[in-house]
């Protein structure tokens, strides 16, 4: 009887092993995207535009493969500029990706296009674990951008996303402060007031003549 029970248990375990996928396949590492957009300067001025000095304003969009395996196949990075912002005329978006070399972000060039306010960049080479994708999107800040920002609480938001390469899509949205033309783009700076000093006092001393202690 005990032998039959043992054989039945062995058959049941074998059946479960066939029906349930192995844990090894579930633990297989894969690629995973993260993404963020950084405006510089951090505040845009209405009427300004990226020019040959390359001072700004652009967005720096950075994505990383935070997974445990390289991507495979084509990946696509997108940025949807809000009303009030346009891709800067004459300065197309561009970028690099893949392994770093000589302190550059990557060795492969992105292929980027623009359609009205949408920027699309693609790459086909693998992006290894810890490697990144970096795109620069030069921006023209339209004259009505400050008004648009005021209507939205003082900020315009640039949604960015990356998908493909065998990894799940990732998105983020970057609020960017916009001020009117001629307004300061940095907050007021100053120094904290110095702490109040206590009046200096002369140390107490002992007078042998008066045989008393005197303090001033």
What band does 120 get if pLDDT is binned at 50, 70 and 90? very high
Please name the residue ranges forming H helices in 21-88.
23-26
CB 177 within 8 A of CB 43: yes
Give the separation between CA 79 and CA 88, rounded to whole angstroms: 14
Given a cut of 70, whether residue 112 has pLDDT beyond it is yes
Higher pLDDT among residues 139 and 207, named by residue: 139
Six-digit token string for 131: 């490697």
Instruction: Express each pLDDT in 57-111 by its tens digit.
Output: 999 999 999 999 999 999 999 999 999 999 999 999 999 999 987 777 789 999 9
Pick 21 or 152 by higher pLDDT: 152
Minimum mean pLDDT range among 100-109, 145-154, 168-177: 100-109
Beta strands 58-65 and 33-39: pairing type?
antiparallel
Highest mean pLDDT among 1-5, 20-24, 172-176, 195-199: 172-176
- Residue with more model confidence, 16 or 3: 3
How many whole angstroms separate alpha carbon 177 and alpha carbon 48? 14
The pTM (predicted TM-score) of the whole model is 0.72
For range 137-147, the mean pLDDT: 95
**146 or 214: which leads in pLDDT:** 146
The pLDDT of residue 146 is above 80: yes
Q: What is the pLDDT of residue 205?
A: 52
Mean pLDDT to the nearest integer, 194-206: 49
CATH of 28-179, one of 2.60.40.1510, 1.10.8.60, 3.40.50.720, 3.30.70.120: 2.60.40.1510
Closest by CA to 87, choosing from 54, 55, 114, 106, is: 114
Q: Which residues contact 91 (CB under 8 A, 6 or more apart)?
A: 50, 51, 138
Q: Which pLDDT does position 171 carry in this prediction?
A: 97
Cβ neighbours for 71, distance < 8 A, ≥ 6 positions apart: 31, 65, 126, 127, 164, 165, 166, 167
How is the chain split into domains, by residue range? 28-179
Contact between 93 and 114 under an 8 Å Cβ cutoff? The reply is yes
Q: Write down the residue that tokens 């033309």 correspond to.
A: 181
């Amino acid at each position: 009887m005990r032998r039959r029970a043992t054989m039945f248990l062995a058959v049941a375990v074998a059946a479960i092993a066939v029906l349930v996928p192995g844990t090894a396949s579930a633990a297989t590492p894969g690629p995973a995207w993260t993404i963020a957009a950084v405006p510089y300067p951090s505040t845009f001025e209405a009427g300004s535009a990226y020019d040959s000095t390359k001072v700004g304003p652009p967005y720096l969009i950075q994505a990383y493969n935070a997974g445990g395996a390289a991507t495979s196949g084509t990946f696509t990075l997108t940025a949807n500029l809000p009303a009030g912002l346009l891709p800067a005329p004459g300065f197309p978006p561009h970028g690099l990706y893949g392994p770093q070399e000589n302190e550059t972000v990557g060795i492969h060039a992105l292929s980027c296009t623009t359609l009205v306010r949408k920027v699309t960049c693609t790459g086909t080479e693998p992006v290894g674990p810890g490697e990144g994708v970096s795109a620069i999107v030069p921006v023209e800040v339209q004259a009505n951008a400050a008004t648009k920002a005021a209507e939205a609480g003082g900020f315009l938001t640039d949604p960015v996303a990356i998908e493909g390469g065998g990894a799940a899509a990732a998105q983020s949205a970057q609020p960017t402060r916009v001020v009117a033309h001629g307004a300061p783009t940095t907050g007021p700076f100053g120094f904290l007031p110095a702490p109040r000093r206590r009046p200096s006092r002369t140390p107490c001393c002992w007078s042998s003549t008066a045989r008393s202690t005197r303090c001033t």
